[in-house]
Each structure stands twice: as C-alpha cells, then as structure tokens.
Amino acid sequence: MFRNLTIFAILLALLVVVLGAYVRLSDAGLGCPDWPGCYGSLIVDATQKGHEKAAENFPERPLEVSKAWKEMIHRYFASTLGLVILVLTIMAWKRPELGQRGLTTFLSLLVMFQGALGMWTVTLLVKPVIVMSHLLGGLATLSLLLLLLLRVRQKRLANAPRVGPVKRLAVVALVILVVQIALGGWTSTNYAALACPDFPTCFGDNWNPPVDYKEGFVLWRGLGVDYEFGVLTNEARAAIHWVHRIGALVTTVLFIILTYFLFKLSALKEALMVGGLLLIQVLLGILNVLLSLPLHVAVAHNAVAALLLLSVVYVNFRLNKTTL
C-alpha cells in the first residue's frame, strides 16, 4: 500500500507541476487575487451575484471565470497532494521498518513551504523570484517522491568499477539540469520566452545580441510591484532568453555525453530514456520560438522538463552503489 500510494503521489505531483505551468502560461496566476479562496469563496462563483461581490471586494481586478477556475483547480490538486504526502508520512512513522521517516517528514515540510510559496505568488503579485521558487519546489517534491519510491524498491545497477566516472557525470548532469530549469522558470515568469523571435540567432543574424544582462537578472525589486505581463525592457528579457538558450546548449551536450556512457555501461533502458526525453525537449524548445509560443507546446515543454529531471534522478539512484 505504501508503494502504491507513493506511485499515486508521483503521478499527482506531476499533474500539479503541469497544471502550474498551464496556469502560469495562460496568464491565470492572478486569476484569484486572494488565497486560499477565490474572491472570498472556495468555489468560483460565476453568478451575477458573484461578479458583483468580486467587483466590490477587488475593484482593481474583475472576475475572469475561466482564469479563476484554472487557478482553483490547480489549488485543489495541490492540496490533495499535500494530504497524500501527509498520509505517507504517518504511514512511514507507523512502520519504522520502511526506514523512510526522515524523507517523508522532509516532504511534508516541503509541501507546506510550497503552500506558502503559492500564497506569496498571489499576494506578491506573481513576483518572479517567488514564482520560480514555487516551480523549483514543485519539481523538488516530485523528485523526492520518486526517490522515496526507489528507496522502497532498492533497485540499483550492478556494482562495477566503471560506474564511478559515470556516477559523477550523472550528478553534474542533475545539477546543470536544475540550473537550466531555473533559467526556464525565470524566462517564463519574466515573459521572455519570445524575447528572441529568431532561431538559432537573436534579433536577425546576431550571435551577440544587444541585451541587458544586469537588469535581466535582478532577483528582488521590492514589494508592491505588479509583475503580471512583465516589467522588464526588451533588452533585459532578451538577456534572460539568450542565457536560457546557452544553458540549453550546455545541457544538451552534457546529456548526450551521459547518454553515450550509459550505453557503454549497457544501461540501455536508462540511455534511451534520457536521450529520448532530451531530443523531445530540444524540439519543443525550438518549436516554442518558431511557432510563437503556442500554449500546448509551452506546457509540454514544462512537462518534459519534469520528466527529464525524473529520469536523471532515476539514473543517479541506479548508479549509486551505497545506501542513500
């Protein structure tokens, strides 16, 4: 039951991450200007009375029913995930032989912090550093749930001297991927996904575009600023986008090398998984630019990034010969 519930939690966490991306990319992050309810209610009130109440309490932000429902559905699923993780924690403490008390407790604390980040996302008006942190927290929750499942199953690659270098490479790949995902989140929350409308260059044939790196990577701009639809100049947004592209190139090269060495280890399933997801992710990133960021492609880009992260967590676990 513990293993099955963990599998359910992983699937639910993946759904929450994808829904979060959908909410963000459809500009529904402030679909509900309050928290945890929506215009003072736990269920979106689309009636005339609901519109009047929303206009009275939040005159600066009229009720948009479709955006409000997107945000609330995301909150419903996120709350359910928190409840499932709490149940896993209780089960782990009741069954010490599982040896997962520490990890499940940390997961419970992490999901509580995620709730706080969700609240701050709204109350701080989609502040980019908060939104990016919320994304990373969701992916950390997803990754740790997979780790929980793997630790219960205890399935690793055979011990061999040649595993050592590949294990170190896999750790580096994991770190670089997390940095690249953070850059992707920073690109999205600053509305910089189309700042460079050309591919592979930026602004025509320019390989060194006129960008403002300093302004693009200011993490904290004070309180009271409404960040919906972005506040940066085109040069600052282009800087963010260009750095994300450079990060994508570095990540791609590193993952190709990792895939090659996994094949050399005869870890064919792992190599195909990492290589296949990498190929899909690169294609989706290119399509985002060439097709001017269609919503379904952008959401898929986020979903595959989450799957790629899971694949590298899985590879790292399988390569690790010692008990975690």
User: What is the per-residue pLDDT across 118-162, written as a single tens digit (0 to 9) for each?
Assistant: 999 999 999 999 999 999 999 999 999 999 999 987 655 555 556
Q: How far apart are CA 68 and CA 255, in angstroms?
A: 39
What's the structural domain count of the chain? 2
Read off the pLDDT of each residue in 206-218 and give the average, rounded to a whole number.
92
60 is catalytic: no
Domain limits at 242? 158-324
Together in a domain, 187 and 143: no
Catalytic residue of the set 71, 97, 215, 235 = 71
Together in a domain, 123 and 229: no
Q: How far apart are CA 244 and CA 226, in angstroms?
A: 24
Looking at 114, 134, 155, the residue that finishes a domain is: 155
Together in a domain, 130 and 113: yes
Looking at 104, 121, 155, the residue that finishes a domain is: 155
Name the pTM for this structure: 0.93
Q: How far apart are CA 78 and CA 72, in angstroms?
A: 10
Together in a domain, 141 and 60: yes
Whether the per-residue pLDDT at 218 is higher than 90: the answer is yes
User: What is the per-residue pLDDT across 260-284, written as a single tens digit (0 to 9) for each?
Assistant: 999 998 889 999 999 999 999 999 9
User: What is the per-residue pLDDT across 158-179, written as a single tens digit (0 to 9) for each?
Assistant: 555 567 889 999 999 999 999 9
User: What is the per-residue pLDDT across 1-27, written as a single tens digit (0 to 9) for each?
Assistant: 899 999 999 999 999 999 999 999 999
Looking at 155, 178, 193, the residue that finishes a domain is: 155
Residue 38 main-chain phi, psi, to 5 deg = -130, 110
What is the average pLDDT score of the chain? 93
